[in-house]
Amino acid sequence: MPRTLREVVFVDGVRTPFGKAGDKGIYAQTRADDLVIKCIRELMRRHPELPPERVEEVAIAATTQIGDQGLTLGRIAALLSGLPKTTPGYSIDRMCAGAMTAVTTTASSIAFGAIDIAIAGGVEHMGRHPMGEGVDPNPRIVAEKLVDPSALVMGSTAENLHDRFPEITKERSDAYAVSSQEKLAKAYANNQVQPDLVPVATRHQEQGWGLATQDEPPRPGTTMDDLAALKTPFRPHGNVTAGNAAGLNDGATACILASAETAEELGLPVRMRLVDFAFVGVEPEVMGVGPIPAAEKALGKAGLSIDDIGLFELNEAFAVQVLAFLDHFGIADDDERVNKYGGAIATGHPLASSGVRLMTQLARQFEEHPEVRYGMTAMCIGIGMGGAVIWENPHHADYGKEVAA
């Protein structure tokens, strides 16, 4: 029988404040699974119009799936969040794009008609589980020279990207990083970030009880002089520093996705419509170029051009990676369409959780900018991949109309 794909909408998204990884971070003694459980519970609290039994799938991503990030995390999180025992769940791993993949995978199930509503998200506790903990890379990667060993060190891939694009200097990367800090500070001052944060009660043997209500990594007031003095740990006299790259962080995200018909039936808000998405593979040694071909593929499938995108949420794993994207598409470093609330250099990047942070922030910006019809969330992915998702703004006057050929 012929099938007609259904429209998929982004209902709502939340995240925990992001913390610094390590013994002194706000979540040092908080379980990873409890962070994502908190997000799911908050989504259900915010939407009493959504009966818990209507949630038909929970997909949760983690890059390091051991310990409190293991054991089929989506199912465990569903059970401990108070969803019915009839709600299934599963785990996803696509490194930094884990939550992004959780969204596109569950959205595909909704579009196909297998389910009507899903919760998708991600969590990473890099303090408890450093990236690569317990892994055993196949020796053929090096022995047969299938992949350069630098591909396994994300900071080294960023240095490789500087080599490929020498016009992206350290000074330019530092300037972009300073701008990210400034934009996030401004967004906090304007209360644009806080509505999507879930307060998290914390406990620490030395620091006692606390309540996490804002991101821990930001360094407002950072200057070019501050960044110029930082070491380049991945290469002597290199370009990548702790100041122009995302840090090691802890945090979680989650969102509700639904078919357009089901959202209308239940009275769920529609904050974005999924237009198209793409994941691609690139040379692992320069994984930061991944968002470029991913964006080109998604735009081509959607029948759009880069000029149709009015807002970008680009994950800032490294400044050089974002700048390479901007240069490729002829976008200025300080273009107001890009990362209006700052990015991961300031906010933090708890790996598998970050994709939904990008989406939640884009949805918030859509509300502020009804003149913008399309937005994009995109990110580079470890081991040589890129992902891009195109969304439509329901507040735009032409929302839902077909794209002109």
Nearest-angstrom CA–CA distance, 236 and 325:
25
SS (H, E, C) the chain: CCCCCCCEEEEEEEECCCEECCCCCCCCCCCHHHHHHHHHHHHHHHCCCCCHHHCCCEEEECCCCCHHHCCCHHHHHHHHCCCCCCCCEEEECECECHHHHHHHHHHHHHHHCCCCEEEEEEEEECCCCCCCCCCCCCCHHHHCCCCCHHHHCHHHHHHHHHHHCCCCCHHHHHHHHHHHHHHHHHHHHCCCCHHHECCEEEEECCCEEEEECCCCCCCCCCCHHHHHCCCCCCCCCCCCCCCCECCCEEEEEEEEEEEHHHHHHHCCCCCEEEEEEEEEECCHHHHHHCHHHHHHHHHHHHCCCHHHEEEEEECCCEHHHHHHHHHHCCCCCCCCCECCCCCHHHHCCCHHHHHHHHHHHHHHHHHHCCCCCEEEEEEEECCCEEEEEEEECCCCCCCCCCCCC
380 carries an active-site annotation:
yes
Whether the Cβ atoms of residue 165 and residue 324 lie closer than 8 Å to each other: yes
The closest alpha carbon to 39, from 267, 272, 377, 360, belongs to 360
Neighbouring CB atoms inside 10 A of 16's CB total: 28
Q: Which amino acid is at 172?
A: R
* Catalytic residue selected from 39, 125, 129, 380: 380
Distances from the Cα of 143 to the Cα of 137, 138, 148, 241, angstroms:
11, 9, 10, 30
Whether the Cβ atoms of residue 255 and residue 14 lie closer than 8 Å to each other: yes
* Catalytic residue selected from 96, 125, 129, 255: 96
Q: What positions carry a catalytic annotation? A: 96, 349, 380
